[in-house]
Structure 1
Amino acid sequence: MNRLFNILTTLFLIALFASCSAKKSEPWNQEQLMPPEELAGIIKDSAAAKPLVVCIGPGALIKGSVDVGQTGEEPNLEKLRGLLAEEDRDKAIVLYCGCCPFEKCPNIRPAFTLLNDMKFTNHRLLNLSNNLKTDWIEKGYPVEDLTALD
């Protein structure tokens, strides 16, 4: 009985270790994920200090955001590096993509890793876990005036 218990315990520990080591580590932590409603509130509040909001995906649709292009492509990642080169390392920065669900997004990890590597200390990722349309536009959050582009 004792031997069976030891074998089962060992198998359980091996399975637990394997599942923990198989989890993909993200370059951000939970505190660095900004809920969309939080950023929307900041944008709408004329008295609020505004972070630098950077679109790292296709098309800067969030009101006031800066577009650097899809940072899954090296030239656009370098554009992001150039944009941030002279910024204070404690500046509030919010990155967003929204092209697709987080687990599939080719843009958020390279961009967030770059900010980590550049030693920024106050950067966050907008938590658009589905996409920009679902998590921002359909909720009526502030977007750029697209009619001005016509």
Structure 2
Amino acid sequence: MKNFLIAFLLLFTVAACLPNRDKDDPEPELAGTYNLTSFRVNNQEFITANTGVTGTIVVTRPSDTRISLTLSLRGNGQTQTDNLGEIEIRKASGRNYDMYESGTRLGSINGTDLNFDISDGSDRIVVAARK
């Protein structure tokens, strides 16, 4: 019994010294403002140096499994803001999360990059943004 107790204490001491994996790979901060690098509607590019259009996506995280997106486009002295609503997120690999709506994968987010590609049958919107 004495040997068992010594072995148990030794095992407990060694286990306490192991590195904490959560500290090595912290969860990314998904919320924040992402600057659009590409915004296409039906293969027409809107964010280019020639168009003078800029934009942002503001991401908030109301829960561990959902994010909320607000898109703002600025050009020709006007700003258009659209609330894109809440989207479900699921942990993918590493720091990446996949974004889903009604079981359909829309894109990904990792705290640095945000990408999504959505289609309603007649229109397709492809967005890339970076924090």
- With normalisation by structure 1, the TM-score equals 0.28
Which protein has the larger Cα radius of gyration, Structure 1 or Structure 2? 2
Q: Per chain length, whose mean CA-contact separation is higher, i.e. which structure has more relative contact order (CA < 8 Å, sep 6+)?
A: 1
Greater strand content = 2
Greater helix content = 1
